Amino acid sequence: MAATSVLTSVFKLLLITLLISQVTPVQSAILPEDRADVMYHGYDGGGLEVTGPSVLVRKGFKDKVSVWGNYYVDMISSASVDVMATASPYDEERTEYSIGVDYLRGKTFMGLSFTSSEESDYTSNAVRFGISRDFFGDLTTFGISYARGEDEVRRSGDDTFAEETTRQSYRVDMSQIITRSLIVNLNYEAITDEGFLNNPYRQVRYYDPSIPVLAYSYQAERYPRTKTSNAAALRAMYYLPYRAALKFEYRTYSDTWGVDAYNVEVGYTHPFNDRLVVDLKYRFYDQTAADFYSDLFPFADAQNFLARDKELASFSSQTVGMGVSYELAPDWMPFFKKSAIHFNVDYVQFDYADFRNVLEVVPDTPGTEGLYSFDSVVLRVFFSVRY
Residue count of the chain? 387
Name the more confident of 373 and 17.
373
Strands 315-327 and 203-207: unpaired
Ramachandran class of 134: left when φ > 0, alpha when ψ lies in -120 to 50, beta otherwise: beta
pLDDT at residue 206 is higher than 70: yes
The full DSSP string for 234-269 is EEEEEE-TTS-EEEEEEEEEEETTS-EEEEEEEEEE
Residue 125 CB-half CA count within 13 A: 3
User: What percent of the chain has pLDDT above 90?
Assistant: 80
User: Quick one: which H or E segment has residue 43?
Assistant: strand 35-45
pLDDT at 7: 36
Q: Of 59, 56, 83, 58, which is closest to residue 70 (Cα–Cα)?
A: 56
pLDDT at residue 209 is higher than 80: yes
Please, are residues 217 and 300 in contact by the beta-carbon 8 Å criterion? yes
Please, are residues 382 and 39 in contact by the beta-carbon 8 Å criterion? yes
Distance of alpha carbon 376 from alpha carbon 320, whole angstroms = 11
Q: How far is CA 188 from CA 3, 232, 252, 301, in A?
A: 14, 4, 10, 37
Q: How far is CA 224 from CA 6, 29, 211, 290, 306, in A?
A: 21, 44, 29, 11, 9
Lowest-pLDDT range of 28-42, 87-101, 279-293, 345-359: 28-42
The amino acid at residue 178 is I
For 24-35, b/e burial (b = at least 16 CB within 10 A) is ebeeebebeebb
Name the more confident of 10 and 321.
321
For 75-98, b/e burial (b = at least 16 CB within 10 A) is ebebebbbbeeeeeeeeeebebeb
Q: How far is CA 298 from CA 205, 291, 302, in A?
A: 9, 15, 7
Query: pLDDT (tens digit, 9 = 90+) per residue, 121-176?
Result: 999 999 999 999 998 888 999 999 999 999 999 999 898 999 999 999 999 999 99
Degrees, nearest 5: CA angle 228-376-357: 75
Query: pLDDT (tens digit, 9 = 90+) per residue, 231-277?
Result: 999 999 999 988 899 999 999 999 999 999 999 999 999 999 889 99
In the chain the domains, ranked by start, together with CATH numbers, are 3-386 (2.40.160.40)
Lowest-pLDDT range of 261-275, 306-320, 321-335: 321-335
What is the rounded average pLDDT of the residues 362-371?
95
Give the three-state DSSP class for 65: strand
Neighbours of 134 (CB within 10 A): 20
The full DSSP string for 93-152 is EEEEEEEEEEEEETTEEEEEEEEEEEETTEEEEEEEEEEEEEETTTTEEEEEEEEEEEEE
Distance of alpha carbon 105 from alpha carbon 82, whole angstroms = 51
